[in-house]
Amino acid sequence: MELFVFLIRCSFWGFMCRLKQWKQDLPATSVIITFHNEARSTLLRTVVSVLNRSPEHLIKEIILVDDFSDHPEDGEELSKIHKVRVIRNEKREGLMRSRVRGADAATANVLTFLDSHCECNADWLEPLLERVTEDPSIVVCPVIDVISMDNFQYIGASADLRGGFDWSLVFKWEYLSQSERQARLKDPTQAIRTPMIAGGLFVINKTYFEKLGKYDTQMDVWGGENLEISFRVWQCGGSLEIIPCSRVGHVFRKRHPYSFPGGSGNVFARNTRRAAEVWMDDYKQFYYNAVPLARNIPYGNIQDRMELKRKLHCKPFSWYLKHVYPELIIPTSEGGPGGSLKQGTACLDSMGHLLDGNVGLYPCHDTGGNQEWSMTKDGLIKHHDLCLTLPVYAKGTSLLMQICDGSENQKWRHLEGGLIRHARIPVCIDSRYHAQRGVTAEKCDSNAESQRWHLYNHSH
């Protein structure tokens, strides 16, 4: 761990972060950590890292909310530590109600939410506090490094990531676009605007948290709350940022350490559905198309949350899509999720290849999978997270599937007559050599059958 701290400080952005002078008069924060059957040593590690790696005067208190765990003695033991207060629930409440309980008990005007399985890194707190002090409507997260579940090895995460999701509303990390990464080279300490927060780790002004409606306390156990609070912050006038100079390690688990009353899938779908119903307007239909089972999950009453949305004059989801997350592809009759690129009875096929692999042609089976392609409004041809790329500007080049970075080699135009021409040079996607070299880019020829493609959407 100490070695990691050392390495972080030696790296370029670590160096740049060290050059920063944080404001002297930062406010103190209440740290809120909820737990339910967390390993005692893991919980202790979290608490100790907060105390050891934060300036003394910036930690007002650590509020531990014991969500009716099987071991009340863990909390009693921890409450002996300086500044630590423990609140125990009388019954299992789940993450959202527990966090609201912790927030209500907090005495500082800045709230810091952490998971019970974290390790704060050197200088993690100051950059976060500085940013929320500058503007209380900004909700900030650290870069979340990975702590291995098996041996507690600390693995630094890339700072070129932000949080996003697809229409199944499952959180995922996304690479910043090439232009954003370019801009960050000059100053890697700049905040990163993120459409979605990963979950448990963020800092928010307490008054703002309350004004914004805290959490949806009718959500149960865990899941979907990061989606809900992310939509709410953006749509109701705030913003979400990742602060790259702040680093907190988080233990990622392969499965949940505790039971989900009602089954984890149903609880997750119910919570997610509540968020979709309140915040997504008609766009929720795309979620239901992606996760059909969610249509049948009862989601309870959302009147309070709808009222909150009206009261705060929150913007519609279309605004969020346009201004915060324009990269999210809106399914249309022209491609979109579940589409394919056809040439007669054959389809463009990833052939099971992955990153940096080429693509081929294979008889259409119309069940998606390796033949699932979509074309975005800005000309990307996507297979899940990968984009069809012309690696070299020359005819005869095999096309590869690479991480979508918005660069010009990934931009295409679907012309009338079926040709798919590269945006910059006059080459078109061609299947004539697919058996030897995969699908290639060849000189455009409107008479060539091997260049004629039909975008076909399965849901239409």
For Mn ion, the binding residues (CB under 5 A) are 115
Q: Which residue's beta carbon is nearest to the bound Mn ion?
A: 115
C-beta closer to Mn ion: residue 119 or 130: 119
The least distance separating Mn ion from the CB of residue 200, rounded to whole angstroms, comes to 5
Instruction: Give the pairing of strands 84-88 and 59-66.
Output: parallel
Q: C-beta of 259: minimal distance to Mn ion in Å?
A: 16
CA pair distance 453, 252, nearest whole angstrom: 42
In angstroms, the CA 286 to CA 340 distance is: 18
**Residue 256 or 413: which CB sits closer to Mn ion?**
256
Which C-beta is closer to Mn ion: that of 226 or that of 402?
226
Tell me how far, at minimum, the Cβ of 329 lies from Mn ion, in Å.
28
What is the smallest separation between the CB atom of 175 and Mn ion, expressed in angstroms?
A: 22
CB of 118 to Mn ion, least distance (A): 8
Closest distance between Mn ion and the C-beta of residue 246, in Å?
17
Q: Which is nearer to Mn ion, 99 or 383 (CB)?
A: 99
SS3 of the chain: the string is CHHHHHHHHHCHHHHHHHHCCCCCCCCCEEEEEEECCCCHHHHHHHHHHHHHCCCHHHEEEEEEEECCCCCHHHHHHHCCCCCEEEEECCCCCCHHHHHHHHHHHCCCCEEEEECCCEEECCCCHHHHHHHHHHCCCEEEEEEEEEECCCCCCEECCCCCEEEEECCCCCEEEEECCHHHHHHHHHCCCCCEECCCCCCCCEEEEHHHHHHCCCCCCCCCCCCCHHHHHHHHHHHCCCEEEEEEEEEEEEECCCCCCCCCCCCHHHHHHHHHHHHHHHHCHHHHHHHHHHCHHHHHCCCCCCHHHHHHHHHCCCCCHHHHHHHCCCCCCCCCCCCCCCEEEEECCEEEECCCCCCCCECEEEECCCCCHHHCCEECCCCCEEECCEEEECCCCCCCEECEEEECCCCHHHCEEECCCCCEEECCCCEEEECCCHHHHCCEEEECCCCCHHHCCEEEECCC
Residue (142 or 331) nearer to Mn ion, CB: 142
To the nearest whole angstrom, how small is the minimum distance from the Cβ of residue 199 to Mn ion? Answer: 6
- Of 124 and 412, the one with the shorter C-beta distance to Mn ion is 124
If the CB atoms of residues 61 and 115 are measured against Mn ion, the closer one turns out to be: 115
Please report how close the Cβ of residue 95 comes to Mn ion at its closest, in angstroms.
Answer: 9
Smallest gap from Cβ 157 to Mn ion, in A, equals 14
If the CB atoms of residues 115 and 123 are measured against Mn ion, the closer one turns out to be 115
Please choose, from the candidates 315, 272, 278, the residue with its C-alpha nearest in 3D space to the C-alpha of residue 290: 272
The smaller minimum CB distance to Mn ion, of residues 115 and 216, is found at: 115
CA angle 198, 200, 201 (to 5 degrees): 85
**Residue with Cβ nearer Mn ion (38 or 349):** 38
Q: Which two tokens stand for residue 330?
A: 């809106």
Calpha distance 101→59 (Å, rounded): 19
Q: Name the minimum Å distance from CB 220 to Mn ion.
A: 17
- Shortest Cβ distance from residue 198 to Mn ion (Å)? 9
- How far are the Cα atoms of 84, 106, 107 from residue 203, in angstroms, in the given order? 18, 13, 15
116 or 398, CB closer to Mn ion?
116
